[in-house]
Amino acid sequence: MADAAEAPGEARYRSLSPLWRGGLILLVSAAIGLALNQLLNLGFFVGKTLLDSAYLYWLCALLVGGVFLLVPAGRRARRDGVPWYDALLFATSFAVFAYFALHAQRIVEEGWEYKAPRDAVWLAYAGWLMLLEATRRAGGTAVFVVVALVSLYPVFAGHMPGPISGLPRDLAATASFHFASSESALGIPTRAFGELVIGFVMFGAVLQYTGAAHFFNNLAFALFGSVRGGPAKVSIFASGLMGSVSGSVVSNVLTTGVVTIPAMKRIGFSPTYAGGVEACASTGGVLMPPVMGATAFVMAAFLGVPYVTIAIAALVPSLLFYFALFVQIDGYAAKNGLKGLPRAELPSIRRTFAEGWHYLFVFALLVWMLLVLQRESLAPFYATALLLVINQVWPRYRLDWRRLRTLLEGVSGALSELAALLAGVGLIIGALSVTGLAGTLANDLVYLAGNNVYVLLVMGAITSFIFGMGMTITACYIFLAIVLAPPLVGAGFDPVAVHLFMLYWGMVSFITPPVALAAFVAAGIAKAPPMQVGLQSVRLGAAMYFVPFFFVLNPALILRGSPGEIAVVVGTAVAGIALIGFALEGYAAGIGRLGIAARLFVFAGGVLMAMPGGGELGLSHLQLSLGGLVLALAGAAVAWLTARAR
């Protein structure tokens, strides 16, 4: 297996001089120290209590400007040094946030969000423009356009047509609110970053730069490499683990795909199929507990629940997604007679564990602190500290000065980009909050749906998919949590299920053309036509389109209900997803190949069996399951008769 000791570099980052690199690392180290002081109550600031708002201002001052140092303004911008305008933007970012941090007490006492001094207003103007540019570099042009337009909305709110009109504010008042209130740049996304996300982003980056990708790949190959269709099943295991930690679909494809895709092609998987498998496996990793990426922590902040609640709720749906992918891969391998890799070419389980067992120990500590102690804000810091201590015992991945510098640069990039993106997206929350549009827009959506919860769900899915095409998943989720979540929750759906529904449908765009970013990246590695890989990903990842509807209609699928109901709903969902996988691949274990008619019967049976009963359907869960079983048996009978006829 390829050595993955060094994490893949970010090609879009510019190369910094030693002076700039050292300065950036120093600022990010100070931000981590500030977070540790605030979360662990270490008392670095003797005789002075740091307000939460001051803490977040200082965190933004130390991190947001790093985007201007790392990410060039465009494709043709300098990549071998920091031009003067980026240095100016970096200094502006630090100065604006530092100013508001130093005046945090006055902001609270004097209500600057409604009436700020003139110098604060001018600095807010500068900060607004700076933050929009930081958002563009961190999140892309689509995020920038949405954030820019919505952040300006309060100025024109009084002139907008009825459904989208709101309470107007002039430009100065809008700028002041964005930077002086706790509901805009310092709103829920930034608070979630300062209280939860920063530790997990740091942990994920450190894990990647201390050999975790190499260990996970080797462990997956040792366990599954020799079985039928082994490398494809390796992709599920390795990408699920790495995606959960990294929280990035694209980096997951680049980290595990460079190993798994060539291995899949070698044993007979077509390049298109291999790319589709890796794209789906990497996308699903971000939905897999225990970490799930930054968006899950923002979700916990929106819902006001412990992160462990989100992780437990996401467990069964993510396993169903991977189970469906596994069923299809196994069917494809059986149908085409694809065996695994020779055992002699695979790493031994004993040696793999000997080289990387400490990663499992670190994960055990992380899960214990998350699930048992429920100290989600502190868990990643302790896990990171333990990882760094243990890592120095192993000479293969021991951090020397060069590797330590690379690690710190990776942490700096991850934290700077996410801090800029979350602060920028917070402007959307501020604009909708100060004008009162968030509440009225929710009511209008309910009106448009005609109070039909199924129409409202489909509208939510389509909207989530469209926004997911142009935004990062975190930005997409935050916007939808403000606009779409209230009407769905108001319609009677479980709040956790609603927020997970939007997360899933926001992720769908990674494997669905025309964007299909994960599929297109995987296509580059597989050397296959990108659009064909995208279409293959849609079929392989079909469970991602069904499962969100199932758990919204019956929260027992996210483990919210009585034990008996949970057991029945999860059991029938597993059977239904297996049938859907058989139908999509055209092969069923114990039966063999399925013709068109048999596939239609089996597919319909799987949908009925997995679908929760009750509500406006007028059918109980038992009736749906029995109907699904009858259709599945009919499909099996058709397949058997067709095989006999041959």
Average pLDDT of the segment spanning 284-292: 82
User: CB of 197 within 8 A of CB of 298?
Assistant: yes
Token representation of residue 270: 């077509």
In this model, does residue 85 exceed pLDDT 80?
A: yes
What is the phi/psi pair of residue 393, to 5°?
A: -75, -30
Q: What confidence tier does 1 reach under pLDDT thresholds 50, 70, 90?
A: very low
Report the alpha-carbon distance of residue 407 to residue 211 in Å, rounded: 11
Q: How much is the average pLDDT of 557-564?
A: 89
**293: three-class secondary structure by DSSP:** coil
Q: What is the pLDDT of residue 9?
A: 40
Average pLDDT of the residues in 402-428: 87
Mean pLDDT of 123-150: 90
Provide the pLDDT confidence category of residue 313 given band limits of 50, 70 and 90.
Answer: very high
Average pLDDT, the chain: 85
Looking at the predicted structure, is the pLDDT value of residue 335 above 70? yes
- Residue 374: the pLDDT is 76
Pick from 41, 37, 96: nearest CA to 65: 96
Q: Quick one: average pLDDT of 296-314?
A: 88
Does 618 score more than 80 pLDDT?
Answer: no
5 pLDDT above the threshold of 50: no
The answer to whether 257 and 278 are in contact (CB under 8 A) is yes
What is the pLDDT, as a whole number, of residue 615?
58
CA atoms of 206 and 199, how far apart (whole Å): 11
pTM: 0.79
Q: Which of 24-28, 32-36, 227-231 has the lowest mean pLDDT?
A: 227-231
Handedness of CA 301, 303, 307, 311 (dihedral sign): negative
Q: Where are the beta strands (DSSP E) in 161-206?
A: none
Contact 260, 231 (CB under 8 A): yes
C-alpha 242/C-alpha 323 separation (Å) is 17
In the block, residue with structure tokens 């298109």: 272
Please report which confidence band the pLDDT of residue 601 belongs to, taking 50, 70 and 90 as the band edges.
very high
Instruction: Give tens-digit pLDDT for 244-257.
Output: 766 678 778 877 88
**pLDDT over 90 (residue 316):** yes
Distance CA 179, CA 131 (A): 10
| The two three-digit tokens of residue 26, written as one number | 């120093």
- Of the pLDDT bands very low, low, confident and very high (cuts 50, 70, 90), residue 342 is confident
Give the position of tokens 């120095």.
Answer: 392
- Where do the H-state alpha helices sit in 368-472? 379-391, 401-435, 437-448, 453-470
- What's the DSSP call for residue 442? H
Asked if residue 59 lies in contact with residue 35, where contact means CB atoms within 8 angstroms, the answer is yes
- Judge whether residue 393 has pLDDT over 50: yes
Q: How far apart are CA 28 and CA 18, in angstroms?
A: 15
Q: What are the tens digits of pLDDT across the range 153-171?
A: 999 888 887 777 888 889 9
- Distance CA(490)–CA(505), nearest Å, equals 20
- Which one has a higher pLDDT value, 35 or 345? 35
Angle, CA of 21, 26 and 30, to the nearest 5°: 150
- pLDDT category, 6, cuts 50, 70, 90? very low
Per-residue pLDDT tens for 421-467?
889 988 988 888 888 876 676 666 666 766 677 788 888 888 778 77
What pLDDT shows up at residue 318? Answer: 92
User: Is the CA virtual torsion 546, 550, 551, 556 positive or negative?
Assistant: negative
Q: Considering only residues 458 and 605, tell me which one the structure prediction assigns the higher pLDDT.
A: 605
Residue 262 in this model has a pLDDT that exceeds 80: yes
Answer whether 590's CB lies under 8 Å from 570's CB.
no
In the predicted model, what is the mean pLDDT of residues 116-136?
93
- Residue 335 near residue 273 (C-beta atoms within 8 A): no
